[in-house]
Chains A and B, each alone.
Chain A
Amino acid sequence: MTSLKRRLFVLLLAATGVIWLSAIAWISLGSRAELERVLDTRLQEAARMVHSLAGSAMTSTASAAVDATGYARQLSCQIWSLDGRLVGRSSGAPDGRLAADQDGFSDREVNGETWRVYTIVDRDKGVRVAVGDRLGLRDRLVRDLVAGMLAPILLVVPLLGVLIWAGLGRGLRPLEALAGEIAARDGEDMRPVPTEGAPREVRPLLSALNGLFGKVEAARRHERDVTAFAAHELRTPLAGLKTQAQVALAAPDAATRDGALRQILVSVDRTTRLTRQLLALARLEAMGAARPEGTIDAGAVLRDVVASLPLPAGTTVTVDPALDGLRVPAEREMLHLVLRNLHENAVEHMPAGGRIAWAPLPGGLGLAVEDEGPGIPDEELALVTRRFWRGRHRSASGTGLGLTIAEMAARRLGARLGFANRSDRSGLRCALAWS
C-alpha cells in the first residue's frame, strides 16, 4: 500500500536535505576562497614586516624569532642571504628552503609538505625574506568550519523529521476524517458525502464518489421496485387461485362452485403466460448480445406469429403484403419473440371489432404495428418497457412484461423499438427499426 503521508514525508525530508547540503557546499567553497585571500594577505604583510625588521636589526639579532601570532606555528619565516645562506628563521620554520627566487606568491614542496609562500627579494639589503604556511593547515581550517556548521544540522534533522511528520498528520486530517465517515457507513447509507468544508484538492474525488453513490442507489431502487412488482405480480394470481379454490370448496350451490372453477381456469392461463414470459426474460438476460449473422424473412415470421395466436371474436389482423420477403438481419427465434409480444400487446388492448395492422416502415428497414386500443398516455410512454409496469389502460390478462421482453429482444437484434400514440385515432403504434 502506498502511503501518501510516507511519500510526502520522504519527499519533504529529501528536499530539505538537498537544500541544506547545497548550502553547505556553497558556503564551504565560498569560505575557502575568502580564507585563501585573507591568509595570502597575511603572508604578504608578515613578509613585509619581517623584511622591514630585517633591514634594521639584521646584525644584532641574527636569528630573530619571528613568530606570527594567531594559530600556533601557523606561519613560518625564513631569511636568506642572496648568496644562499640561511640568515634567520622563526622557531616553527622548516629546515628546507621556503624562499623562491622571485618576488611574490608560490606553492613550494618542503619536507614533503606543500607550503604557501610569499617571498621578498631585496638586493639592497642582500636578503630574501620568505613567509609561508602549510596548505594542510588551511584545509583543516575549512574542514573545521564546515564541521562546525554540520554538527547542529545533524542534531536538527531528527527534530525536523518529527515536525514534518506531525505537520503532515495534521494537514491530512480532513482526508482521514472523510475516510472515517465513509468507512463508518453501513451498506444502506448512500447519502452523498458533503463537499462543503472538504479540502479543494479532495473535492473532485468526492464528487466522483457521490456520483457513484447516486448510481448505486438508483440501481438499487430499480432492483427494489422490480422485486416489489415481481412479488405483486406473482403473489396476486396465487392469492386469487387460493381464494377461488376456497370459494369452490365452501360453495353452497353448483353455480357458485362452477363460477369459482372458471375463475381458477382464467387465473391458471394468466399465470402460465406470466411464467412463460418470466422464463423468456431470464433467457434474454442470460444471453450475450450476439449480432445475428444472416438475414431472414420478417413477413414469414410475422405470419407464423399471427397464425399461432387466437384472436378474440370480431378482431381482425391485416398484414401488408409488402412485408412478405422483407429481409431483416435477425435470428428467427429472437424476431419471433419481439413480434409475438408486440402482437399480443396489440390484441390485448383492442376493443371488440378493431383492426390490427402490420406494415413495413415507410422510410427505413423495419416494421410497425398499429392497434385501435386506448393508446398510452404520453407521460407513460417512456415507462412501457419497464419490468412489470402496467399503465392506466391495463388489460385484464396483461403481465407488464410483454413490451419489456420485446424491447430487450429487439436490442439483441441490433434494432430499436419505438412507441407512439397514433395521430389519426386512438391507438398505439409500435415500430421495430434497424438503423
Chain B
Amino acid sequence: MRILVVEDDPVLSDGLKVGLGLSGATIDRVATCTDARAALAAARFDAVVLDVMLPDGSGLDVLADVRRRGDATPVLLLTALDETSDRIAGLDAGADDYLGKPFDLDELAARLRAIVRRRDGRASPVLEAAGVVLDPATQVATVAGEAVPLSRREFAVLSALMERPGVIRSKSEIEDRLYGWDEEVESNAVEVHIHNLRTKIGRAAIETVRGIGYRMRGQP
C-alpha cells in the first residue's frame, strides 16, 4: 500500500512513516494543505491519512477539493477533535474513516487495510490468486497450507500483484509501491524481489509479460 500522510507534527509524522512502514506500507509525507493538494494531484495513493488542523488551513477543505475532483482515494481523517459532531462533519465531507488522537498504531493500520479493501470491493480480508493466500494483516503468504514468511518489500510487491490478479503491473508501478519520494530506487530491485518471491511461492504463480511487466496467474 502506498499511503500519503498529511500531518504537521514532525514526531507523529515520523512515527506514522516508520510504524505504517513496519506493516508493509510505503509512506509519503507532507505537512500542509498546499503540499497535500499537490501530492494528490501528482500521484496515486492507495489511501490518505489526513490531519484536520493544518498550518495553512483545514484538512476538510483538502478533502472536499479531492472529492470535487472526482478522486475516490480512500481518506482516513486523523484529528484531535473527536466529538460526535466533528466525526459527522468529517465523514460527510467525504472521509472514509475517522480516528481521534491519540490512537493505536495497529488500529490505524487495520482501518487503512479495511478502507482499501472496501475501495477494491473485496469482502475477504485476505488476497487469493494462483493458489497463494496473502494476509495483509500479518504479511504472511500461505501456499498449499504452508505459511511462507515474506520480507516487507516482498510483501509490497506481492500485494501489488495480487490486488488485481491477471492484470499486468508495470515495473514502475511496482516501484511506486516500494519506494517513497525520499527513497533511492535501486535499479533492479523489482527483479530481485520477483525472483525471491518465485522461490518462496512457486515459479508458476508470477508470470513475466516481456517488455510490459508482471502479473499473477489465475482468475482475474
Q: Is the CB of B53 within 8 A of A266?
A: no
Q: Is B144 an interface residue (CB 8 A)?
A: no
Within 8 A of A (CB), among B6-60: 8-12, 14-16, 18-19, 22, 51, 53, 55-56
Q: Is B104 an interface residue (CB 8 A)?
A: yes
Q: Is the CB of A391 within 8 A of B55?
A: yes
Q: Is the CB of B104 within 8 A of A236?
A: no
Q: Chain A: interface residue count, which band?
A: 20 to 34
Question: Please, which residues of chain A bring their CB within 8 A of the CB of B9?
Answer: 236-237, 239-240
For A233, A247, A266, A270, the residue with the greatest tally of chain B CB atoms inside 10 Å of its CB is A247
Knowing A242-B105, A247-B105 are in contact, say whether A263-B80 is a contact too (CB < 8 A): no
Flag B77-100 by CB within 8 Å of A: 1 or 0 each.
011110000000000000000001
Nearest Cβ on chain A to B88's Cβ, whole angstroms: 16
Q: Is the CB of A228 within 8 A of B53?
A: yes
Q: Is the CB of A239 within 8 A of B10?
A: no
Q: Is the CB of B22 within 8 A of A241?
A: no
Knowing A232-B53, A241-B102, A394-B55 are in contact, say whether A250-B22 is a contact too (CB < 8 A): yes
* Whole-angstrom CA separation of A12 from B125 in the bound complex: 84
Of B11, B79, B81, B103, the residue contacting A263 (CB under 8 A) is: B11
Question: Please, which residues of chain A bring their CB within 8 A of the CB of B101?
Answer: 232, 235-236, 238-239
Nearest Cβ on chain B to A270's Cβ, whole angstroms: 8
Nearest Cβ on chain B to A339's Cβ, whole angstroms: 27
Nearest Cβ on chain B to A87's Cβ, whole angstroms: 116
For A228, A243, A244, A264, the residue with the greatest tally of chain B CB atoms inside 10 Å of its CB is A243
Q: Is the CB of B81 within 8 A of A244?
A: no
Question: Please, which residues of chain A bring their CB within 8 A of the CB of B78?
Answer: 239
Question: Please, which residues of chain B bring their CB within 8 A of the CB of A240?
Answer: 9, 11-12, 14-15
Nearest Cβ on chain A to B109's Cβ, whole angstroms: 10
* Whole-angstrom CA separation of A236 from B52 in the bound complex: 11
**Residue ID in chain A nearest B11 by CB atoms:** A240
**Residue ID in chain A nearest B15 by CB atoms:** A243
Knowing A231-B80, A243-B105 are in contact, say whether A252-B22 is a contact too (CB < 8 A): yes
Q: Is the CB of B22 within 8 A of A236?
A: no
Q: Is B65 an interface residue (CB 8 A)?
A: no
Flag A234-262 by CB within 8 Å of B: 1 or 0 each.
11111111111011001110001001100
Measured CB to CB, the residues of B under 8 A from A are 8-12, 14-16, 18-19, 22, 51, 53, 55-56, 78-81, 100-106
User: Can you name 27 A-B residue pairings with CB atoms under 8 Å?
Assistant: A228-B80, A231-B81, A235-B101, A235-B102, A239-B101, A239-B103, A240-B12, A240-B14, A240-B15, A242-B102, A242-B103, A242-B104, A242-B105, A243-B15, A243-B105, A246-B15, A246-B106, A247-B19, A250-B19, A250-B22, A251-B18, A260-B15, A263-B15, A266-B10, A270-B11, A394-B8, A396-B10
